[in-house]
Amino acid sequence: MTVYSYFSDGALLMSASSLNSRTWGGSIWVFKDPLGAPNENLCTAGVQTEAGVTDVAWVQEKGILVASDTGSVELWELLDNESLLANKFTTYEHDNIVTSLSVFTGGLQAVSGSKDCSVKVWDLSQKTPLKSYKGKGTPLLASVSEDCSVVVLNAESSVIFKDESHRDFVTGVAWSPVTLGTFTTVGWDHKVLHHTIQIDNPGPQA
């Protein structure tokens, strides 16, 4: 898994993750000349991280915000003529993988999103979240396939419902806006089928 981000001066920030035995490890590289990527010997600065890296974002000229698969948000800074990356803080405020980051204009605040169904707004100078927004319930995704099946997945990508009543390609699906847990599928078999699943902790449906 690799994540890239360009700075306004053309410098390339690249991160990668790999599975080591039973745990994920990550790395961050900065290339002043992006044509040198991904050769580690040509990077301006680089560092190994203790967890898998899921997203990165530039913070002003020398800061790098990092999201990890352990639920942490980290801030690194380029030092020594941008040849060294030093960790400024690592904080664990999320309860699951941090999947996305975005830094506000000015670089003083940032926002992070996680698989724990929360979004946090950060004060980077104070190293703390200012606000936290939590989605209600468990998000669900209904997926259809050419193998004639319909499945519903939860936020952990676990299948909680599967139906194979269609006899040809399933081409469309839509959740009912009125009845919780009910959705309709259509297929090349000229069937329109209605499905209902039990939802104990309802959340967004897609």
What is the Cα–Cα distance from 52 to 48, expressed in whole angstroms?
10
User: For the chain, what are the domain ranges?
Assistant: 2-134, 138-205
Task: Measure the CA angle with vertex 48, ends 47 and 49; round to 5°.
Answer: 115
The class level of CATH for 138-205 reads mainly beta
CA distance 17 to 118: 23
- Largest separation between any pair of C-alpha atoms in the chain: 67
Could you check whether the bond before residue 38 is cis, i.e. omega within 30 degrees of 0?
Answer: yes
Contact 101, 94 (CB under 8 A): no
Residue 203 pLDDT greater than 70, yes or no = no
Paired tokens of 148: 């004639």
201 pLDDT band, cuts 50/70/90, is: low
d(CA 142, CA 159): 10
Name the CATH superfamily for 2-134: YVTN repeat-like/Quinoprotein amine dehydrogenase (2.130.10.10)
- Kindly report, residue by residue over 10-31, the tens digit of the pLDDT: 889 888 887 776 777 888 899 9
Model-wide pTM > 0.85: no
Q: What is the pLDDT of residues 70-111, one digit of tens each?
A: 999 999 999 988 888 999 999 999 999 999 999 998 899 999
